[in-house]
Amino acid sequence: MVTNISYIFLISVLLILGGWAFKALISLAQGKPIVINFKNPLNLKARWPKETKDK
């Protein structure tokens, strides 16, 4: 049980670090500055529609 949890944690860390490295390579190839966001490492955003106020 502990081994499975540690493997899930290890795989998650590897995927996050690999994603950061891939994103950094793409930024370098495009000539943009590298931005690393520690609060939102996977760059997840809310996708639901915002409420609009009709007048």
All residues at 6 or more sequence positions from 33 whose CB lies less than 8 Å from its CB, including other chains: 27
Contact 33, 27 (CB under 8 A): yes
- Looking at the predicted structure, is the pLDDT value of residue 53 above 80? no
User: What is the residue extent of each domain of the chain?
Assistant: 1-36
Contact 16, 42 (CB under 8 A): yes
Look at residue 7 in the predicted model and tell me its pLDDT. 95
27 is written with which tokens? Answer: 């930024």
- Looking at the predicted structure, is the pLDDT value of residue 55 above 70? no
What tens digit of pLDDT does each residue of 8-46 get?
999 999 998 898 888 889 989 999 888 777 887 767 787
Look at residue 54 in the predicted model and tell me its pLDDT. 67
Q: Kindly indicate the confidence band of residue 47, based on its pLDDT and cuts at 50, 70 and 90.
A: confident
